């Protein structure tokens, strides 16, 4: 579980992934790990400060009830998908639908043809590797919809970069770049949570969208991970067709806003609803 204060983040009014306005609120975000979501473990809730309005608790499994004497609002509901890496690549491919296997093969073949006949996937895991990876991936992130619409691209500030490199030095990062010709087309950065690897930052250059570089890179990364030290690949919060098609399991979850029972908080939640 991870907790952090979202000062200045507030409650977002959204249409799909696009934020159209924000109601200022100081929220403590508590994110359940995949292990906690699978076991139904109750998350530790840090004490609220005097200026905090409440919590946003993410990936609460449907089997877990949280006792809160205040405003409770279900922000979203989804399946948290994952891949069981211990089963091996052959079992994973066998579990995919025939259409999914055919689609992955077709996309990889099409992209390889545009890149001289082979896929150019480059792998990064050490601190030195990540120092090389970051500036290339960050330049890609600036072009992606994740960055433009959601502010969810690979971070570029010095503190975040230093933390990423430090994590790599402790064998807690895996990252990939996919090239088409000499141009980087897609990136994937994953942080480790024990023996689970998380799907943290991903994006592709829109100029290569017709070649499906994100899907091709995701398949290549999973193939690598079947020979790595991890037990599961965690697609994290939120839905997505590629998550559903490539996963081997999932846990039904919801994100809950737990706010102090003030008039202002009740009004804010009513507006978000």
Sorting pLDDT into bands at 50, 70 and 90, what band is 8? very low
Rounded to 10 degrees, the C-alpha dihedral 132/133/134/140 comes to 130
Per-residue CA distances from 3 to 17, 48, 66 (Å): 23, 11, 16
Q: Decide: 26 and 6 in contact? Cβ < 8 Å.
A: yes
Coil, helix or strand for 15? strand
DSSP letter for 216, please: H
On average, the pLDDT of the chain sits at 90
Tell me the whole-structure pTM to 2 decimals. 0.88
Report the run of H or E that residue 34 belongs to, with start and end: helix 34-39
Q: What is the pLDDT of residues 68-95, one digit of tens each?
A: 999 999 989 999 999 999 999 999 999 9
Report the run of H or E that residue 39 belongs to, with start and end: helix 34-39
């Amino acid at each position: 579980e991870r907790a952090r204060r979202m000062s200045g983040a507030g409650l977002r009014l959204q249409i799909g992934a696009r934020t159209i306005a924000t109601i200022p609120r100081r929220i403590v975000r508590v994110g359940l790990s995949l292990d906690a979501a699978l076991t139904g473990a109750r998350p530790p809730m840090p004490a609220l400060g005097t200026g905090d309005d409440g919590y946003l608790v993410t990936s609460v499994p449907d089997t877990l009830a949280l006792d809160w004497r205040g405003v409770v609002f279900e922000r979203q509901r989804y399946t948290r998908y994952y891949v069981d890496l211990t089963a091996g690549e052959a079992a994973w491919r066998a579990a995919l639908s025939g259409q999914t296997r055919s689609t992955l093969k077709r996309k990889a073949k099409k992209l390889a043809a545009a890149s001289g006949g082979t896929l150019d996937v480059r792998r990064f895991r050490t601190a030195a590797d990540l120092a090389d990876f970051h500036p290339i991936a960050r330049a890609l992130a600036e072009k992606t919809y994740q960055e433009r619409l959601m502010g969810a691209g690979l971070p570029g500030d010095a503190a975040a970069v230093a933390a990423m490199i430090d994590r790599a030095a402790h064998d807690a990062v895996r990252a990939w770049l996919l090239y088409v010709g000499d141009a980087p087309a897609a990136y994937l950065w994953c942080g480790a949570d024990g023996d689970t690897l998380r799907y943290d930052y991903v994006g592709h250059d829109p100029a290569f969208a017709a070649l499906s570089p994100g899907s091709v890179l995701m398949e290549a990364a999973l193939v690598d991970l079947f020979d790595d030290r991890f037990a599961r690949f965690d697609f994290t919060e939120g839905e997505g067709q590629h998550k559903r098609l490539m996963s081997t399991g999932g846990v039904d979850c919801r994100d809950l806003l737990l706010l102090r029972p003030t008039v202002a908080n009740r009004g804010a939640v009513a507006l978000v609803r």
